[in-house]
Structure formats: structure tokens, C-alpha cells
């Protein structure tokens, strides 16, 4: 699993251990059964989404699968427990006009080198549909501006090649010409493409804050996040006629079922266009 998945599973299992200790229940794995797990789920259900509960129960299942496989335990008390029902969650998508305003908004900042960096970041998030972790992990050796592509490391340490559009290449060239100015007299990370004003590799949290800030300034959307640009990239490509399999390869989805959720967004958009444009749709709107 990825490092983030391992950290999440570890946190969930530590939370389960703390729950058992707090309730003065046995912390021996052999004594843990459905009753204790259901009590844990009941406590967690206060203020948490079904998706979060499903992930936490999945962490317990993974632990017991491992213990079964290694012969430590013969039963998996979590296996027969039903996972929480997940409702259909449509991803946050902005329209092309909002995406364009967002991408162009860094020109309004006072620090020119920083603005060029931010513009290049936004172009890659929206233009190539990169995950924020893939973007901040991008090294120079993975970037091939001459052939308009980059090799990124996705989930599960899987590599894939993503195309770079003309606007992304232009923004990258402008940024890279001024990149060293960000660090000033400080040392700079020679491998990382995107660096902070201290010269270190830019972090995920910093990019999240940046997208949120520019979203609020340019579009009045303080709820924007890097993944919304990835969702918007996929949705706009689908609406533009791109094949679902092509989008799957671009985004690095393991299963096309993950990519298919964008069809629901596009159908929703299609319904809205119909209601605005078709005479029968206008009658329905009344």
C-alpha cells in the first residue's frame, strides 16, 4: 500500500486500541469480537461520514486478514460485519470559465516568481489532472518539456506518463526561468520542480491552501481544492468527446468504474443544458 494508506490504517488501529482501553475491554486480539467492533463503530458514527466509518472498519478487516494468513488467529470477526452504505457522491467540478479564471489569477500577486510558480501548478492540476501528491513529488528527471510529457508516480507507486498541454508548457518555461529567485541566497532543492520560498520542495498542504486562496479570490469559491481541478479536467474532457478509457489512463485509475463517476457529472450538466435550451425543458422549469 502507499505510505498514506499505511499511515491511515495505523491511525485507525491505534484508535481501536484506545477505544478498548477507554472502555476497559480486553486488548488481546483473540478476545476481540463483533460486539466490541460494533460498539466501536457506534461510537465513531457520531459526527463521521459513512465513508470514514467504512475506511476504519476496513482497517480492522485488513488487520484480521493478516492475522489469519500468518496463523495467529483462526477467525476474522470483522469479515461478516456489513460495511456502511455509501451514498453516491458527485465530485466537485467547476465550469470551464471558472477554471480559466482560477488558472489565470496568480498574475495578480506581487511576487512575480511566486506567481509564475503558482500559475504553472494550477495549469498542471487542471491541464493534466495530476493528484496534488504527484505534483509536489515531481522531479526534473520526470519532466520532458521537449516532448510535452511528464512521468508521475501515482497511487501504489505506479508510474504513468501524462501529456502536457501548450498552456502548461508555456507556464512551466516561464516559471523555471525564474525558479531560483524563490530561494534567494538560501540553498534550493536541485531535484524538485516546485519549491517554496525557502528553496525546499513544496508540500501538499501548501498547494491546498494556495488553490483555496486563489479560488476565493478569482471565483468566490473558498471550497476549491486541488482534487476539484482534477475532477474538472476529467469532466471537461468527457464533455469534449474524450473516450472514458483515455481519461482512465490520464488519471491513473486502477478501474474504469472509478472514472465512470464523471459520466454522472456530465449527465447532470447535460440535463441542466437541456432545461435551459429545449422548449420542453423550459416548460418543466416553470
Q: Which residue numbers are catalytic?
A: 131, 155, 227, 230, 253, 262
What does the alpha-carbon distance between residue 226 and residue 210 come to, in Å, rounded to a whole number?
Answer: 9
* b/e per residue 88-104 (b: at least 16 CB within 10 A): eeeeebbeeebbebbbe
Q: Smallest Cα–Cα separation from 190: which of 204, 175, 177, 179? A: 179
* Grid coordinates belonging to 67: 492475522
R_g over Cα of the chain: 23
Tell me the three-class secondary structure of 11-36, residue by residue.
HHHHHHHHHHHHCCCCCCHHHCCHHH
Q: Strand pairing partners for 160? A: 152
Write the CB contacts of 280 (distance below 8 Å, at least 6 apart in sequence). none
CA distance 177 to 125: 20
Q: How many residues does the chain have?
A: 286
Q: Which of 34, 41, 32, 39 is nearest to 12 (CA)?
A: 41
Amino acid at each position: 500500500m502507499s505510505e498514506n494508506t499505511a499511515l491511515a490504517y495505523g491511525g485507525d488501529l491505534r484508535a481501536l486500541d484506545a477505544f478498548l482501553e477507554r472502555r476497559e475491554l480486553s486488548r488481546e486480539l483473540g478476545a476481540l469480537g463483533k460486539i466490541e467492533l460494533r460498539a466501536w463503530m457506534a461510537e465513531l458514527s457520531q459526527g463521521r461520514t459513512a465513508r470514514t466509518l467504512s475506511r476504519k472498519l476496513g482497517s480492522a478487516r485488513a488487520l484480521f486478514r493478516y492475522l489469519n494468513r500468518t496463523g495467529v488467529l483462526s477467525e476474522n470477526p470483522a469479515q461478516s460485519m456489513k460495511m456502511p452504505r455509501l451514498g453516491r457522491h458527485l465530485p466537485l467540478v467547476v465550469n470551464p470559465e471558472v477554471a480559466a479564471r482560477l488558472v489565470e489569477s496568480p498574475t495578480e500577486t506581487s511576487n512575480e516568481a511566486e506567481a509564475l510558480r503558482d500559475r504553472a501548478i494550477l495549469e498542471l492540476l487542471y491541464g493534466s489532472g495530476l493528484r496534488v501528491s504527484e505534483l509536489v513529488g515531481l522531479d526534473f528527471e520526470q519532466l520532458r518539456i521537449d516532448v510535452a510529457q511528464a512521468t508521475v508516480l501515482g497511487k501504489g507507486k505506479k508510474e504513468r506518463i501524462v501529456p502536457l498541454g501548450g498552456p502548461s508548457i508555456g507556464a512551466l518555461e516561464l516559471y523555471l526561468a525564474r525558479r531560483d529567485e524563490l530561494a534567494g541566497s538560501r540553498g534550493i532543492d536541485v531535484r524538485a520542480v516546485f519549491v517554496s520560498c525557502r528553496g525546499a520542495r513544496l508540500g501538499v498542504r501548501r498547494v491546498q491552501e494556495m488553490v483555496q486562496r486563489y479560488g476565493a479570490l478569482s471565483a468566490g469559491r473558498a471550497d476549491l481544492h486541488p482534487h476539484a481541478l482534477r475532477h474538472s479536467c476529467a469532466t471537461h474532457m468527457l464533455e469534449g468527446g474524450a473516450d472514458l478509457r483515455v481519461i482512465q489512463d490520464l488519471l491513473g485509475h486502477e478501474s474504469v468504474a472509478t472514472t465512470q463517476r464523471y459520466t454522472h457529472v456530465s449527465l447532470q450538466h447535460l440535463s441542466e443544458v437541456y432545461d435551459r435550451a429545449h422548449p420542453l425543458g423550459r416548460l418543466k422549469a416553470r
